[in-house]
Amino acid sequence: MDNILEQLEKKRIVPVVVLRNIADAKPLAKALCEGGLPCAEITFRTEAALDCIQIMSEEFPKMLVGAGTVLTTAHADQAMKAGAKFIVSPGFNPTVVKHCIKKKYPIIPGVNNPSDIEAALSFGLTFVKFFPAEASGGLEMIKALSAPYPQMRFMPTGGITPENLHTYLAFEKVAACGGTWMVKDELLKLQNFEEVKRLTEDALRTIRS
Ligand code: 3PG
Protein backbone atom coordinates (compact mmCIF):
# COMPACT_ATOMS: atom_id res chain seq x y z
CA MET A 1 0.00 0.00 0.00
CA ASP A 2 2.70 2.47 1.02
CA ASN A 3 4.63 1.77 -2.16
CA ILE A 4 1.66 2.72 -4.37
CA LEU A 5 1.05 5.89 -2.37
CA GLU A 6 4.73 6.78 -2.73
CA GLN A 7 4.45 6.26 -6.49
CA LEU A 8 1.42 8.56 -6.60
CA GLU A 9 3.29 11.16 -4.62
CA LYS A 10 6.15 11.01 -7.11
CA LYS A 11 3.73 11.59 -10.01
CA ARG A 12 2.43 14.74 -8.26
CA ILE A 13 -0.60 14.90 -10.57
CA VAL A 14 -3.38 12.34 -10.94
CA PRO A 15 -5.60 12.76 -14.02
CA VAL A 16 -9.19 12.05 -13.00
CA VAL A 17 -11.06 10.44 -15.87
CA VAL A 18 -14.71 9.83 -16.72
CA LEU A 19 -14.76 7.43 -19.66
CA ARG A 20 -17.99 6.67 -21.48
CA ASN A 21 -16.55 4.60 -24.32
CA ILE A 22 -14.39 1.55 -23.87
CA ALA A 23 -12.72 2.37 -27.17
CA ASP A 24 -11.26 5.54 -25.62
CA ALA A 25 -9.27 3.66 -22.98
CA LYS A 26 -6.30 2.78 -25.15
CA PRO A 27 -5.77 6.10 -26.97
CA LEU A 28 -6.26 7.97 -23.71
CA ALA A 29 -3.70 5.85 -21.88
CA LYS A 30 -1.31 6.37 -24.79
CA ALA A 31 -1.81 10.16 -24.67
CA LEU A 32 -1.23 10.33 -20.91
CA CYS A 33 1.87 8.14 -21.14
CA GLU A 34 3.29 10.12 -24.07
CA GLY A 35 2.49 13.33 -22.21
CA GLY A 36 4.71 12.04 -19.41
CA LEU A 37 2.06 11.13 -16.86
CA PRO A 38 1.43 7.36 -16.86
CA CYS A 39 -1.31 7.56 -14.26
CA ALA A 40 -5.11 7.80 -14.12
CA GLU A 41 -7.98 7.59 -11.68
CA ILE A 42 -10.81 6.02 -13.66
CA THR A 43 -14.05 6.97 -11.97
CA PHE A 44 -16.87 4.52 -11.40
CA ARG A 45 -19.39 6.94 -12.84
CA THR A 46 -19.93 5.15 -16.11
CA GLU A 47 -20.70 1.65 -17.29
CA ALA A 48 -17.40 1.63 -19.17
CA ALA A 49 -15.19 2.24 -16.11
CA LEU A 50 -14.41 -1.35 -15.26
CA ASP A 51 -13.49 -2.38 -18.80
CA CYS A 52 -11.38 0.77 -19.17
CA ILE A 53 -9.44 -0.09 -15.99
CA GLN A 54 -8.84 -3.57 -17.33
CA ILE A 55 -7.71 -2.42 -20.78
CA MET A 56 -5.37 0.26 -19.44
CA SER A 57 -3.87 -2.06 -16.82
CA GLU A 58 -3.30 -4.87 -19.30
CA GLU A 59 -2.03 -2.85 -22.21
CA PHE A 60 -0.04 -0.30 -20.22
CA PRO A 61 1.34 -2.34 -17.34
CA LYS A 62 3.68 0.42 -16.24
CA MET A 63 0.78 2.82 -15.83
CA LEU A 64 -0.51 3.57 -12.34
CA VAL A 65 -4.22 2.96 -12.94
CA GLY A 66 -6.61 3.39 -10.04
CA ALA A 67 -10.37 3.42 -9.54
CA GLY A 68 -12.20 6.54 -8.39
CA THR A 69 -15.68 7.29 -7.07
CA VAL A 70 -15.66 3.86 -5.39
CA LEU A 71 -18.75 3.88 -3.18
CA THR A 72 -19.17 0.18 -2.41
CA THR A 73 -17.05 -2.80 -1.42
CA ALA A 74 -18.30 -4.58 -4.54
CA HIS A 75 -16.86 -1.85 -6.75
CA ALA A 76 -13.58 -1.98 -4.85
CA ASP A 77 -13.36 -5.76 -5.44
CA GLN A 78 -14.26 -5.43 -9.13
CA ALA A 79 -11.75 -2.63 -9.64
CA MET A 80 -8.87 -4.53 -8.02
CA LYS A 81 -9.75 -7.66 -9.96
CA ALA A 82 -9.66 -5.62 -13.18
CA GLY A 83 -6.15 -4.45 -12.34
CA ALA A 84 -6.63 -1.20 -10.43
CA LYS A 85 -3.63 -0.44 -8.23
CA PHE A 86 -5.46 1.89 -5.87
CA ILE A 87 -8.96 2.86 -4.78
CA VAL A 88 -10.22 6.42 -4.28
CA SER A 89 -13.52 7.49 -2.79
CA PRO A 90 -15.04 10.98 -2.68
CA GLY A 91 -15.99 10.72 1.00
CA PHE A 92 -15.00 8.77 4.06
CA ASN A 93 -16.96 5.51 3.93
CA PRO A 94 -15.89 3.33 6.90
CA THR A 95 -17.30 0.16 5.32
CA VAL A 96 -15.28 0.61 2.12
CA VAL A 97 -12.19 1.71 4.05
CA LYS A 98 -12.33 -1.29 6.39
CA HIS A 99 -12.84 -3.68 3.49
CA CYS A 100 -9.91 -2.26 1.50
CA ILE A 101 -7.57 -2.37 4.48
CA LYS A 102 -8.57 -5.96 5.20
CA LYS A 103 -7.86 -6.90 1.59
CA LYS A 104 -4.65 -4.82 1.53
CA TYR A 105 -5.93 -2.57 -1.27
CA PRO A 106 -4.37 0.91 -1.23
CA ILE A 107 -7.32 3.15 -0.32
CA ILE A 108 -7.43 6.93 -0.49
CA PRO A 109 -10.66 8.11 1.12
CA GLY A 110 -12.03 11.62 0.67
CA VAL A 111 -12.04 14.04 3.61
CA ASN A 112 -12.80 17.72 3.99
CA ASN A 113 -13.04 18.29 7.75
CA PRO A 114 -11.43 17.36 11.08
CA SER A 115 -13.91 14.57 11.86
CA ASP A 116 -13.18 12.80 8.57
CA ILE A 117 -9.46 13.09 9.22
CA GLU A 118 -9.85 11.57 12.67
CA ALA A 119 -11.87 8.75 11.13
CA ALA A 120 -9.02 8.15 8.66
CA LEU A 121 -6.46 8.23 11.46
CA SER A 122 -8.48 5.72 13.46
CA PHE A 123 -7.87 3.29 10.56
CA GLY A 124 -4.18 4.23 10.41
CA LEU A 125 -4.57 6.17 7.15
CA THR A 126 -2.53 9.32 6.67
CA PHE A 127 -2.85 9.73 2.88
CA VAL A 128 -6.27 11.16 1.99
CA LYS A 129 -8.05 12.89 -0.86
CA PHE A 130 -9.17 16.43 0.03
CA PHE A 131 -12.46 16.77 -1.78
CA PRO A 132 -14.02 18.94 -3.12
CA ALA A 133 -10.87 20.98 -2.68
CA GLU A 134 -11.75 24.47 -3.87
CA ALA A 135 -15.32 24.37 -2.57
CA SER A 136 -14.08 23.18 0.84
CA GLY A 137 -11.75 26.10 1.42
CA GLY A 138 -8.87 25.19 -0.86
CA LEU A 139 -5.29 25.51 0.24
CA GLU A 140 -6.19 27.66 3.25
CA MET A 141 -8.30 24.81 4.60
CA ILE A 142 -5.53 22.27 4.00
CA LYS A 143 -3.11 24.54 5.87
CA ALA A 144 -5.56 24.91 8.76
CA LEU A 145 -6.12 21.15 8.93
CA SER A 146 -2.38 20.48 8.82
CA ALA A 147 -1.83 22.30 12.11
CA PRO A 148 -3.54 19.73 14.37
CA TYR A 149 -2.85 16.82 11.98
CA PRO A 150 0.74 17.30 10.77
CA GLN A 151 1.05 13.63 9.86
CA MET A 152 -1.58 13.90 7.09
CA ARG A 153 -0.75 14.01 3.37
CA PHE A 154 -3.44 15.42 1.11
CA MET A 155 -4.43 14.84 -2.49
CA PRO A 156 -6.67 17.85 -3.26
CA THR A 157 -9.15 17.22 -6.06
CA GLY A 158 -12.11 19.26 -7.27
CA GLY A 159 -11.44 22.69 -8.73
CA ILE A 160 -7.74 22.16 -9.42
CA THR A 161 -6.70 24.05 -12.54
CA PRO A 162 -3.44 24.72 -14.41
CA GLU A 163 -3.54 28.13 -12.68
CA ASN A 164 -3.77 26.99 -9.04
CA LEU A 165 -1.92 23.66 -9.37
CA HIS A 166 1.46 25.11 -8.56
CA THR A 167 0.27 26.85 -5.39
CA TYR A 168 -1.24 23.63 -4.03
CA LEU A 169 1.84 21.56 -4.81
CA ALA A 170 4.13 24.13 -3.21
CA PHE A 171 2.65 23.27 0.20
CA GLU A 172 4.59 20.38 1.72
CA LYS A 173 1.53 18.51 3.00
CA VAL A 174 0.10 18.25 -0.50
CA ALA A 175 1.28 14.93 -1.85
CA ALA A 176 -0.35 15.18 -5.28
CA CYS A 177 -3.23 16.97 -7.00
CA GLY A 178 -6.05 15.28 -8.87
CA GLY A 179 -8.26 16.74 -11.54
CA THR A 180 -10.11 16.40 -14.78
CA TRP A 181 -8.62 19.42 -16.57
CA MET A 182 -6.32 17.31 -18.78
CA VAL A 183 -9.06 14.90 -19.87
CA LYS A 184 -12.12 17.04 -20.46
CA ASP A 185 -15.30 15.43 -21.76
CA GLU A 186 -15.24 17.69 -24.86
CA LEU A 187 -11.79 16.39 -25.78
CA LEU A 188 -12.95 12.80 -25.50
CA LYS A 189 -16.04 13.56 -27.59
CA LEU A 190 -13.82 15.08 -30.27
CA GLN A 191 -11.30 12.25 -29.92
CA ASN A 192 -8.69 14.95 -29.45
CA PHE A 193 -6.03 12.89 -27.71
CA GLU A 194 -3.29 15.19 -29.03
CA GLU A 195 -4.76 17.95 -26.87
CA VAL A 196 -4.86 15.60 -23.84
CA LYS A 197 -1.18 14.95 -24.40
CA ARG A 198 -0.46 18.67 -24.76
CA LEU A 199 -2.37 19.57 -21.56
CA THR A 200 -0.53 16.80 -19.71
CA GLU A 201 2.84 18.08 -20.90
CA ASP A 202 1.78 21.61 -19.91
CA ALA A 203 0.81 20.49 -16.41
CA LEU A 204 4.16 18.79 -15.93
CA ARG A 205 5.96 21.88 -17.20
CA THR A 206 4.04 23.97 -14.65
CA ILE A 207 5.20 21.86 -11.74
CA ARG A 208 8.80 21.74 -12.97
CA SER A 209 9.03 25.52 -13.38
C1 3PG B 1 -13.31 14.23 -8.87
O2 3PG B 1 -13.93 13.38 -9.45
O3 3PG B 1 -12.44 13.95 -8.05
C4 3PG B 1 -13.65 15.64 -9.20
O5 3PG B 1 -14.90 15.72 -9.76
C6 3PG B 1 -12.65 16.27 -10.10
O7 3PG B 1 -12.91 17.60 -10.06
P8 3PG B 1 -12.52 18.61 -11.24
O9 3PG B 1 -13.40 18.25 -12.40
O10 3PG B 1 -12.80 19.98 -10.69
O11 3PG B 1 -11.07 18.41 -11.56
Identity at 44, one-letter amino acid code: F
pLDDT of residue 1: 65
Task: Determine phi and psi for 164, rounding to 5 degrees.
Answer: -100, -5
Tell me, in angstroms, the distance from the centre of ligand 1 to residue 76's CA: 19
Q: Which of 11, 62, 129, 194 is catalytic?
A: 129
Backbone angles phi, psi at 146, to 5 degrees: -70, -20
58 classed as catalytic: no
* Ligand 1 mutation target, pool 8, 19, 45, 131, most atoms within 8 A of CB: 131
Instruction: Enter the pTM of the model.
Output: 0.95
Per-residue pLDDT of 121-161, as tens digits, reads 999 999 999 999 999 999 999 999 999 999 999 999 999 99
